Structure 1
């Protein structure tokens, strides 16, 4: 039994979690009675949460960290890693358990025993008891037996093996040459001595062939989809100077959002609007969906405006620039940049003004402080002060976008700087606050000794030890998180900077970066302003929820909040002036929503909003009439069924105006968060319910709003029985409500692409980059890759007679080579 005993990791020399828990429990004991001591179980859970940083890591990341400490050989008896199951209790608490599946009982004739264990429990007792009584279905296969002997019925297939190898390399961003690693080859031959391992060049060609075969299959799926499709666009330049236009496709199927990369379009010329239009049109025609596109989401670059206008002409009326969607995440980022522009002293201005005061010179010197290590200038660190793993994409900034953003900010600053002239002293205090915080965080991160001192200061102040967050240029809203963390750590920072070794009166001490009381007030008042943009960005950045219908409510909410900040005389002047800059950008893009029909129609087609939202926001009646007229135009032109079918659709619309059993209350997690943020946007069922005309749209508009958490679930339930003609009114609602509010999915695709094109793989061709990156996205969608057909094609090649072809790693590009046995 001793061989199964787990080797426990030696505890750190710092105070135990039990002691930390006690000190946390005693916090505030001077003003209230001491709370009851933690139970043994609660103390163990607290220790586990702290040790593995559960609050900031996913379940998979926590499990990966635990696996490094599981040294008992009892785990060899089970499939590793174990499965993860989560359960929500009545009080809303999420419990996490691991599922251990016995290796010895896997096969077609038996059910494998499973054991569960709480994720914080490191005991192996139950696992050991199972091993002691386990009776495998079959004895372990002797060495040299074929793979099917010990895999309980599975058979080796050269074609399937090649397919799975190619898929693994593409999806996990492995180099093609990994297939030639001697250790991996030994593993394959240990499992099956006659295994045929393809070469790296064969794997490269197989990935491209899988991509081509899947491309035809996906094209047919999209062509047969009964609704309209949406696109997300963004440009990307790789480290090896290849440029692509990333295109994602979005639609609703089975009440679920489907989002994946449609294609990576190679760009060989300057990214002008005309050139991007030509290349995008070719891509859409290649997939046969050029007549099915409804909305296109992209950033606010001027070439996207040109693209939308020219695409409307090129596609012959099947697309309208009135369905252009501006990426809300990019707009929110612009607003935050405008707000923060007040807190950053422009260096050109500082160095050119002849009457620069003493405070300005000091501020300028602080901003000129060089990084101690330029390679970490944009790194993010975790709570332990260690650099977070990053990809090439983390270090890469879209220069064209940044330049365009800077021009917009400059325009806003030119409008407001004249009115800010009388508040230079207040603005200077705010600039000192941000500059000091930036430099302080930088020095703490660069010094392990200071990080350790900060940890000890946290323990002295009886707060959970955490590290400061850097202001990362490539991460949106990082300033909000950095300020929040600094405010949390303020007692510990005061303690740290009071240490004699840091409290020196010279230009190299940390003391000069300590914010003054006035500067802390600026940070305290700025935090909630930035926090609401952070929350809004998180809400609209989920692939599973399109959220277009919340764009206007989010903008309205942010507008009201910024107006309150500007009017609040209790706030420091700098924060109010910063809010003024932010609202200038917000108003600029709020006006731009009038250029697209998508936002207003999404509001009208949400059963919870309809026209009542616009009325509550006090829109002029002619604006509301214009929105409903646009909706009628879309209905009549593209969706309204023939008169003989109208009665059935009208009945469904009438039901949609009252209730949808089982769907109206089934809001997703994201919907609940939105409802919480915009709780005041709930509408009463006021108004007159009428039988209405037979037209389904008029029937729908004539009834008051109703309770509806998730409009996608709601309208999906109204589509009708599968196999029968669809309810076209529900189809129209789903088409407009499924449009993405941001282009973040394209940016995520580029992040995956940067894992394929690393610093050591710059020689990859554009065909290889395209196939591997797109295939890795397709593999995440069930049944979208035609596995059986692809394996059949590979089998056909394997059956060709000897001598029908020769495999060569030096074949010129463009020449088809078929591998034979």
Structure 2
């Protein structure tokens, strides 16, 4: 019988540590030869066995690839062993950057509110302390929405209290109105050229708020009442409604949850009309839906569908970059503008779309984010300084016989129109890459454009990394030490990204062996013999 020589658990553990060091050494050499900008993505995760893990992803533009691609590579996972203060987290990220020798190449960092929170919020005028912070400098969940928004980068949502908390059904409408008063900074008064509402409209601005409150009441009733849920499922089956037979929750901190709830309302419309009138398992008459409510749901789905589709595209690894965001914003702007110009929609919906367009304007965003005027001026100044210090080409002195530059040349920035591919705009990152390949530097602007447009817009890649690691730390691996856990997670991702080449472990072991032999030779004692003895 043939026996297999399987490695021991200790041998496997040692090989994982060696692979970890070998691959990072090779990747360090790759990053050191990279001359363009790099960005770091940072997120935190608690493993099933109780370790707090900080994941760091390196984003960079790989122009050597054919075609050029935006790379998002998990660089390291490290254990957080102390209180998560801003200084401690910043120092942990700094050590990883210095480990790879890229501390002078990092142009920015993308993360979420959970990581930014320990760094503190800008205090409002007249405030002397922050009652929402604990002794570790971490804000509690009771922080005001305005304070959380003021410290967030664009594209991230504040951590608000989850709407899953139980409260009386009779308080839903009043609570929803108070929430809107706290979080909305724009109102109907901010709408320019607003459409006048008609009494014959299917729904109005005020009725829309009441309808959305009804949807939340129905979702909560089905979630917390097993008997009502059973009755609802039975009616759905009788009516032939599509599955799943459930009404989704509308959670503020979850992308597209409003759209998901509206779709479930439409999907189970026939069942809702019968179930809601049930004396024991239905809802109060004040929260029962009519045709106007379903009309609003259908119209809102048509408006919100584009956001759902874009969210799916942003969830794809490597696609959430500023170069893509520019196109997505244009797509959203065109979609909302089409709805606004369509008079078949009630005035309330068209005015809501006008508010949506107003929020996307940069100046309105600064106001919503509570940016001080000095901050805006400073951001503009930093952008100009960035151009002057790092990208502006040195002036070239021309001889008297040299021709003057052609000011109408296409190499001059901002002189041409929008570049189109048929009727669709060209991806700006790909366009600048083509310009650089053709030798057209646009006076040095091409390098700055490539660095800025390759900036990640979300931390989705780090979140995907942690989602993958939930499979790595199974119930049988809860006794893994923290160093084996973090090194194993890193090696697993290196393998997933094809960074483990055949023979790399053997080469690394041979290198270690040769280095040890060299050290031993240097430590040998020299014995001097006395010839006179």
Normalized against structure 1, the TM-score is what? 0.45
Aligned position for 2:470: 754
From 693, 696, 706, give the equivalent of 2:419: 706
| Counterpart residue number, 1:740 | 456
Contact 2:219 2:249 in 1 (8 A): no
8 Å Cα contact 2:276-2:288 kept in structure 1: no
The answer to whether residue 156 in structure 2 is matched with residue 330 in structure 1 is yes
Does the alignment pair 1:540 with 2:318? no
* Residue matched to 2:137: none
Q: 1:135-174 CA deviation, whole Å, 9 max, x = no partner? A: xxxxxxxxx7xxxxxxxxxxxxxxxxxxxxxxxxxxxxxx
CA distance in 1, matches of 2:418, 2:12: 56
Change in 2 beyond 3 A, CA 1:199/1:327? farther
After the TM superposition, which of the residue ranges 475-484 and 219-228 deviates more from structure 2? 475-484
Q: 424, 427, 431: which is aligned to 2:213?
A: 431
Q: Where in structure 1 are there 5+ consecutive unaligned residues?
A: 1-143, 145-192, 310-324, 351-358, 368-406, 601-622, 647-653, 655-687, 800-821
Question: SS of 1:211's equivalent?
Answer: helix
- How far residue 289 of structure 1 moved from its aligned partner, in angstroms, is 0.5
Q: In 2, distance between residues paired with 1:304 and 1:583?
A: 28
In the alignment, is residue 215 of structure 1 matched against residue 24 of structure 2? yes
Determine if contact 1:237/1:244 at 8 Å carries over to the other structure.
yes
Distance 2:340 2:455 in 1: 32
Given the superposition, is the C-alpha separation of residues 636 and 428 from structure 1 closer, same or farther in structure 2, using an over 3 Å criterion? closer
Greater length-normalized contact order (CA 8 Å, ≥ 6 residues apart): 2
How much has 1:210 moved relative to structure 2? 0.9
In the TM superposition, residue 737 of structure 1 has moved relative to its aligned partner by 1.3
CA distance in 2, matches of 1:269, 1:507: 53
Pick from 772, 776, 784 the counterpart of residue 488 of structure 2: 772
What is the aligned counterpart of 1:639 among 391, 398, 409? Answer: 391
Structure 1 residue 434: Cα displacement: 2.9
Task: Quote the residue 1:387 is aligned against.
Answer: none
2:59 to 250, 271, 289: 250
Q: Report the alpha carbon displacement of residue 469 of structure 1 after superposing the two structures with TM.
A: 5.7
User: For residue 814 of structure 1, what is the aligned residue in structure 2?
Assistant: none
1:279 corresponds to which of 63, 80, 92 = 92
- What is aligned with 1:81? none
Q: Using a 3 Å threshold, how does the CA distance of structure 1 residues 286 and 522 change in structure 2: closer, same or farther?
A: same
For residue 183 of structure 2, the aligned residue among 412, 415, 419 is 412
Cα gap change, 1:433 to 1:640, in 2 (>3 Å): closer
Deviation of residue 537 (structure 1)?
2.4
**Are residues 304 and 212 of structure 1, via their aligned partners in 2, closer, same or farther at CA, if it must alter by over 3 Å?**
farther
- Per the alignment, do residues 438 and 263 of structure 1 end up closer, same or farther by CA in structure 2, a change over 3 Å counting? same
1:644–1:428 Cα change, 3 Å: closer
Counterpart in the other structure of 1:354: none
Structure 2, gaps ≥5 residues long: 123-150, 191-203, 399-404, 515-533
Q: 1:479 matched to which residue of 2?
A: 258
Relative to structure 1, the CA distance from residue 467 to residue 509 in structure 2 (aligned partners, 3 Å threshold; closer, same or farther) is closer
Q: 1:589 to 1:297 in 2, by over 3 A?
A: farther
Query: Which segment drifts farther, 282-291 or 547-556?
Result: 547-556
Closer, same or farther in 2 for the Cα pair 1:408/1:562, shift >3 Å?
farther
Cα distance in 1 between the residues matched to 2:227 and 2:392 = 62
Q: Residue 202 of structure 1 aligns to a residue in which SS?
A: helix
1:532–1:449: structure 2 CA closer, same or farther, 3 Å change rule? same
Give the whole-Å Cα distance in 1 for the aligned partners of 2:181 and 2:486. 37
CA contact (8 A) 2:186 2:355 kept: no
- Distance in structure 1 (CA, Å) of the matches to 2:42 and 2:227: 36
What secondary structure, in the 3-state scheme, does the structure 2 residue paired with 1:282 have? helix
CA contact (8 A) 1:298 1:742 kept: yes
Instruction: Write the distance in 2 (CA, Å) between the matches of 1:720 and 1:709.
Output: 16
Return the match for 2:433 from 716, 741, 746: 716
Match of 1:691? 409
- The 1:533–1:465 alpha-carbon spacing in structure 2 relative to 1, beyond 3 Å, is closer
Q: Give, in angstroms, the shift of residue 738 of structure 1.
A: 0.9
Distance 1:203 1:446 in 2: 54
Secondary structure of the residue aligned to 1:431 is: helix
SS of 1:260 mapped into structure 2: strand
Q: Does 1:521 align with 2:234?
A: no
User: 2:8 aligned to 199, 206, 212, which one?
Assistant: 199
SS at match of 2:497: coil
Matches within 5 A, 1:46-125: none
- Cα RMSD of the aligned pairs, angstroms, is 5.4
> Do the aligned residues in 1 keep the contact of 2:339 with 2:350 (CA within 8 Å)?
no
TM-score normalized by the length of structure 2: 0.65
The answer (yes or no) to whether the contact 1:219–1:287 under 8 Å persists in 2 is: yes
- Check whether the contact 1:345–1:431 (CA below 8 A) recurs between aligned residues: no
Partner of 1:785: 500
Structure 1 SS opposite 2:255: coil
**Is 1:508 matched with 2:295?**
no
- 1:725-762 residue CA offsets vs partner (Å, 9 max, x unmatched): 9x965443322211111111111111122222345533
> Alpha carbons of 1:363 and 1:761: their partners in 2 closer, same or farther (altered >3 Å)?
farther
Q: Please say if residues 218 and 247 of structure 2, whose CA atoms lie closer than 8 Å, have aligned partners that are also in contact.
A: no
| Cα offsets for 1:548-591 (capped at 9, x unmatched) | 03546655776794998799997486997899699779876455
Contact map agreement 1:277 1:307 (CA 8 A) in 2: no
What does 1:566-645 align with in structure 2 at a 5 Å threshold?
A: 571=346, 589-590=365-366, 633-640=385-392
